[in-house]
Every structure is written in C-alpha cells, then in structure tokens.
Structure 1
Amino acid sequence: MTLQAHLVVSRAAFTLDLAFEVAAGEVVALLGPNGAGKTTALRALAGLVALSGGHIVLDGRELHPLAAEQRPIGMVFQDYLLFPHLTALDNVAFGPRCQGVPKAEARRTAAALLDRVGLAERAAAKPRQLSGGQAQRVALARALAVRPGLLLLDEPLAALDAHTRLEIRSQLRRHLAAFDGATVLVTHDPLDAMVLADRLIVIENGTVVQQGTPAEVARHPRTDYVARLVGLNLYRGVAHGAGVKVGELLLHTSERLDGPAFVAFPPAAVALYRTRPDGSPRNLWQARIEGIERHGDNVRVHLDGPIAAFADITPAALADLDLTPGQQIWASVKAGETHAYPA
C-alpha cells in the first residue's frame, strides 16, 4: 500500500504545495511550526479538505475523487473523538459495522484489537472512564479496525501528560511497526517524530524545506526552525577548505568544503570567558549577552555579535563568570565541534 501524494490546497493567504511518497510499512512524520500546513495536509489526505490541485494515489488507486467515507483510511484525531455513549468495544466495532460487517463479527474484531493494544479488560468502559493513554489506544484500535491502507495520526500524543506520553510513545511505535500499510503522522514535537517515524518531512509555509531519516535531519539541519528543534546553532556561509565565512567571521570546521555551506555546532560546545582567553582558540569572537534563561539542568545564554548564538553552561559556571545581560564577553568553539556541510 504505497502512497503517492501531491497536495495543493489554495486559500486566500496560504498555499499548501506538498509532494511526497510513503512506502508500505513506512511511517512518515510531517513536522513543522504552527501554521506550516501539517494539519491541512492530513485533512486533505483524509478527504476533509478539498484539493485545489494534485492527486492522492494509494496502491495505484486514485483517492482524491472519493468522498472521505469511501477512502480506505483510518484516522486518529488529536482529541481522539471517541463516541461518549459507546463502550470501548463498540467504539472500535463502529467502523466495521459501517462497512456492513455483521455485529458479532465486528465485535470479535474489536475485541481482538483491544487485546492487541492491551485493553481487553476495559472493553465495557465508556470514554469518560478511560485515562488519556487508554483513550489514545482505543482511538488507535478504532482506526485499525477498518483495515485501512493508509493510517493518519494527528498529534496523537499531544493530549497526554509527560509521564503517560513516555509510556504510550513506546507502545505506539510497536503498533505502528506491526502495521503493513502507509502511515502519515503529524506532530510539532521533535521527540515524537524522531521516535515514531522512519522518515521526516519538514514543512514551512506550505512547502517542504527538508526531508530524510531522523538521524540525517538531526545531523544536517537546513533551516533555523530545524536547527532549533535539534538544538544546534546554524549559519549559512561560504566554505573555503576547512573554514566557512559567515559574515565577517571565519569559522574553522572539522570538514573541508568549497562553495555555499551550512555550519553548525551545539550550544554546549560554546565556551564563555570574561576576558580574551590565552592560547587564542581558532573560533573566537567577542559577543554581547542578550539574555539568560534556565534550559533543563543548565543555563542558556543568548549571545549577539558577529553571529547570534546560544551557549549552554552550568549554573556553577554562570555564578563563577558572574554573567549579566548587556555584558561583553568572549565566546569560542573548538573546530572539532564545528561541522560544515553543503548548502
């Protein structure tokens, strides 16, 4: 069940123009900031938003002329949208019943799916009696009950608390691995995308700006949005051998390139000094502290200067350096932690 899609949706102030494929058994995550077009793309695949152009083809069959209820699609909505008056079992059996499956057979299918997602003992529970994680698994079972060729998931973990999210994320990955159709996942959470997806498609302003495996995207971000997601300082410049010129600053790198290039390094690789350090590190510049904030167990320092950068230091280092906003300091990064790749 390979999906081939070219989604064109035109609106007054926004146009989605997105072409991609999903192989059978593959999970592809659409990742991007709010307003990028992720949910519009998912709703277009489901038939809930009309295409202005393009096509949707699943296993050689054109889906775009079909109404939503005629498409071989299972969908898990962000808020799950379980029927409040039905039990978990009847929620899951609802899809097969709508397809004309006899009641007893539909309920047997539903019972088997609830057992598969670990909720056999909650079959008689109504949605209000389920936890967030249980409701998510019922919604997944309901989507799978119609034997879809294409599975769509819209922020499937967004409604869960942090502890439940960790547990359900790993369970969902196992269930998706067992699904032999194509899966498209929409999320704004990079961790969900990295854990659940085989491939990422990053969308900004309705178009694809980067795609690849999670490892490829994390190692080589190509936009500021992606760099922030994976926690890197990112710049575009011109490479000459083992250096990349970014504005007036030459950054020495661990790779040798020539021509337009990106250069990136993690905030934790940035060292800060009150005075110019001895030994003159190869990548050294003077900067002004624009802001200081907590960042996990560390402190993130916002720097402005020949390049804008983030530096992550420990609270102890912050106290030792006695850093304050507006202060002029020196920043450096080792060439071995500064990586370049073609733009």
Structure 2
Amino acid sequence: MTDTDGTLRPARTDPPSRRPGLDARLLVERGAFRLDVALRAAPGDVIALLGPNGAGKTTALRALAGLEPLTDGHILLDGVELDRLAPEARPVGVVFQDYLLFPHLSALDNVAFGPRCRGASRARARAEAAGWLDRMGLSAHASAKPRRLSGGQAQRVALARALATRPRLLLLDEPLAALDARTRLDVRAQLRHHLAGFEAVAVLVTHDPLDAMVLADHLVVVEDGGIVQEGAPAAIARHPRTDYIAHLVGLNLYRGRADAHTVRLDGGTVITTSEELSGPVFVAFPPSAVTLHRERPTGSSARNLWRCEVAGLETHGDRIRAALTGGLPLAADLTTMAAAELNLHTGAEVWASVKATQTHAYPA
C-alpha cells in the first residue's frame, strides 16, 4: 500500500473480529501481482466478487479455501482463524466452475463423499446424500453417473455435495459458466432459492453482472487486485465508479467537475445535468437515452448535443448498439428500423443528443 505521498509501506492487518460470520483480509503477493481485499459478511449473506479476468477473484476464493497461502492478513470464520487450518480441516464447501464430480461415482455417492470424509458411516452418509438430492429435486437421478446428467443437474449435484458437509462458508467459482443460456436462466433461479435458505456465508465469484445482481446481497468489485467499489447491487448499478462497472451495467460514464448544472470533462466537453452539484462528479446515462440524428437537430429540447462518428455497430439484444467517437465517446441504442432509416454505417457522421433529465450526476 502507499501513503498519500506515494511512499510504499507494509500493509496493515486490521484487528480480527470475533463476531459470527466472515472477517477476512486477503493479502496475496505472487510475482508482480498483488491482491489486497477485505471481506466481511454475516451468516446468511451472499457476497459476489465481480471483476474482469485477472482481477484476482479466483485468487481470493482459493485463499479462502486454503489453496493459496496468504502473504499477510487473516481469515476468521465465526471467530476461528481459518488461515491456521489445512484446507481439509476448514468448514468450507466449494462448487467449482466445471463441478469436478467424480466420474466413476453415482450422484448419490458424489454427495455422500463429503460426509464420509468427515467420519460418517457409509449408510449414514448415503442417507444424508439422499436427503440433499431430494432437496435439489434429483432423487430420480441418484444412481446416475455424471456423464448421464445434464449441465443443470450436474450443477445441483455439485452444490448438494458442497452443502452435505454443512459448511460455514460456501465458495462458488463461476457456478453457472458451464451452462447454456436456456439452462442458465432456470438454474440461476434454483441456485438463488437454495442460497436464500443457506444459513452461513456464501462467496460467489463471477464475471457475469446478471448472476451477481440476482444471486448476491452485496457486491465487491475487484480490479487489478484491489476493491474499486462495493455495496448493494442496486446502489452499484446506479452509481458506477469505474468504466468496467459502467460497461457491465450498461451505462455511459464520465468524470468531470460540476458547477451547478454544468459538468466540464477533462477534454473540455460539457454535459448539462438535472442535478445541481459542485466539485468532482461522475455523470452517467444509459445508451437508450441517446437520440441520433443525421443532421443537426433544430428545436430539440435536449440540452446536450454532440457531433460524433459511428465507430462500430453490433446487435445488442433486440436492438442495435452504436459505438460513437468524436464530440463525446459514447454508446447509443436504437431499433433496427431506426438504424436503417438513419442509414448508419461505420464512419457515418451523426449528431447525438441527450436530455439533461436523462443524465444522473453524483459526487466522485
């Protein structure tokens, strides 16, 4: 970490808490990469670690599981120092991205594996496993080997296997990434149901904002090994603080200096907003708020108007998203019919307008 004058100093390890739940400071140094993330959660909370590839999300998850040693920091779970325990001794359940089910075991025996490792007899472990499969709606597939299971069924078996050990910390590494779009929708809803009934702490790693928004109570956004923003999903979606987050939630985001209703960006471009602020601010608006014109509009009520050039066009759901450069780099969404009527193509010159009432400014 650095002081305000830029001097490097050792990372401070905060005094650990003895409260129920998770209290972790994860500091991992590996070559040139440095992870420094603090996580706190009460029993019943679901935290999502969200960030681009290489941000450190999986490293954080591996550190919690004991698969990646800490350089410094601490991991307390219900007041117990997990960082002093071997991975197999930690009350932690893990659902891996590709599930890692034992291919030679049935669904029942996959789930029974955890209780058996914790000392349960074979009969008791299988009885507990049968109960978990029933909760997951998989009783009819108890004897099936993993190769006979669909992606959604395999995901639920992996979740049942993790929960069968009754962990106090559940770690989910991209649990929906291996599913196709149709299955993902159904399994996401089922996973949300199961997590809602989980009485301990769950930590989810994902790069998918929809998974994070639907499944988590609290988002922690990680970039380059550090936390850049955290909070409730709705708050982060409304007030993104980095370009990465703005892109995830589908907003145009700019930083500038406000003087009443006027925000001046670093390059000199001015945006008029409905909020009256002073000092450093962010300004955000959705691509759907942008109206495009081939000629400079006259009589428009929009307070913001910029001359731009189309840098690219792509299908975005049932709409066309135009990437614009020029007066203000931005994204604009429009219907296929509107794009055709405007004869949009790469290199086309357009005027982009946004009403002040459709912008949202907030302190930086």
* TM-score in terms of structure 2 length: 0.93
Give the CA deviation at 1:171.
0.4
Partner of 1:311: 332
Partner of 2:276: 256
Aligned residues: 343
- Among candidates 5, 23, 28, match of residue 47 of structure 2: 28
Alignment of 1:278 onto 2:298: yes
* AA at the equivalent of 1:271: T
Instruction: String of CA shifts for 1:71-129, please: whole Å, max 9, x gaps.
Output: 00000000100111111111111111111111211111111110001001111111111
Give the CA deviation at 1:306.
2.9
Partners of 2:339 and 2:119 lie apart in 1 by: 67
Partner of 2:315: 294
Partner of 1:325: 346
Alignment of 1:41 onto 2:60: yes
- Among candidates 137, 142, 148, match of residue 167 of structure 2: 148
> Which contiguous aligned blocks of 4+ residues in structure 1 show a shift greater than 3 angstroms?
none
Check whether the contact 1:8–1:53 (CA below 8 A) recurs between aligned residues: yes
Check whether the contact 1:44–1:51 (CA below 8 A) recurs between aligned residues: yes
Pairing 1:37-116 to 2, within 5 Å after superposition: 37-116=56-135
Partners of 2:106 and 2:350 lie apart in 1 by: 63
Instruction: String of CA shifts for 1:161-186, please: whole Å, max 9, x gaps.
Output: 11111101000001001010000000
* AA at the equivalent of 1:75: V
Gaps of 5+ in 1: none
Partners of 1:292 and 1:166 lie apart in 2 by: 27
Partners of 2:344 and 2:275 lie apart in 1 by: 33
Once structures 1 and 2 are overlaid, which stretch shifts more, 211-220 or 291-300?
A: 291-300
* AA at the equivalent of 1:296: G
Alignment of 1:124 onto 2:143: yes
* AA at the equivalent of 2:125: A
Partner of 2:226: 207
Check whether the contact 1:248–1:306 (CA below 8 A) recurs between aligned residues: no
Give the CA deviation at 1:324.
2.3
* AA at the equivalent of 1:8: L
Instruction: String of CA shifts for 1:34-91, please: whole Å, max 9, x gaps.
Output: 0000001001100011111111000100000111001000000001001111111111
* AA at the equivalent of 1:276: R
Partners of 2:316 and 2:132 lie apart in 1 by: 41
Partners of 1:219 and 1:38 lie apart in 2 by: 23
Partners of 1:104 and 1:292 lie apart in 2 by: 60
Partners of 1:111 and 1:214 lie apart in 2 by: 35
Partners of 2:314 and 2:147 lie apart in 1 by: 40
Give the CA deviation at 1:233.
0.3
Partner of 1:135: 154
Partner of 1:17: 36
Partner of 1:341: 362
* AA at the equivalent of 1:304: T
Instruction: String of CA shifts for 1:246-287, please: whole Å, max 9, x gaps.
Output: 232221112111110000001111111111111253111111
- Among candidates 192, 199, 206, match of residue 173 of structure 1: 192
| Identity %, equivalent residues | 66
Partners of 2:99 and 2:167 lie apart in 1 by: 17
Check whether the contact 1:299–1:315 (CA below 8 A) recurs between aligned residues: yes
Pairing 1:212-251 to 2, within 5 Å after superposition: 212-246=231-265, 247-251=267-271
Once structures 1 and 2 are overlaid, which stretch shifts more, 246-255 or 35-44?
A: 246-255
* RMSD, aligned CA: 0.9
